[in-house]
Amino acid sequence: MEMQHKEIPAQRNLLGTLRSNSTFGTFINAIDKAGLAASLTGTEQYTLFAPTDEAFAALPAGTLERLLEPANKDELASLINYHLVSGHRTTKDVGQWKAARTLQGQHAPVEVAEGTLSIGGAQITESDIMAKNGVIHVIDKVNIPEARPQ
């Protein structure tokens, strides 16, 4: 289902916009636990690829619980930053890319096939949800960055 652009100026920041929708509870909890809430409420513009609660539920058993442990805060922050791109990018912008350079540092591949747009293998199911400090695209899978050698 494609969302139409609304000409009404966005009233909430990215985190506030997520909080106003009941399908992002797990992602919001992860953002809070990773200590990244402040960056999503500031004035810096971001494009956020937001996995739904269903997407988190599809992770292998125990993965989310392990990531939410305080000892894994850096890994959790890395995972969240893999869902963020600097700047305000609509699906029209994203659809022009071969890959998105994430805040985490790795590139997530972008594909357009049969009218659907995906990033890192996650399909964008709702797009161009405007916030004061960026734009949210809803995705149906949690993208996991490649493990980096230590």
Q: What is the per-residue pLDDT across 46-97, written as a single tens digit (0 to 9) for each?
A: 999 999 999 999 999 999 999 999 999 999 999 999 999 999 999 999 999 9
Domains annotated for the chain, with CATH where assigned, are: 14-139 (2.30.180.10)
CA atoms lying within 13 Å on the CB side of residue 64:
19
pLDDT, residue 5, reads 47
pLDDT, residue 9, reads 59
Q: 131, 19 in Cβ contact below 8 A?
A: no
Stated as kind and residue range, the H or E segment containing 121 is none
Instruction: Tell me the C-alpha distance between 94 and 150, whole Å.
Output: 31
| φ and ψ at residue 129, rounded to 5 degrees | -85, 110
Surface-to-core class of residue 132, CB atoms within 10 Å of its CB (0-12 exposed, 13-18 middle, 19+ buried): middle
Is pTM beyond 0.75 here? Answer: yes
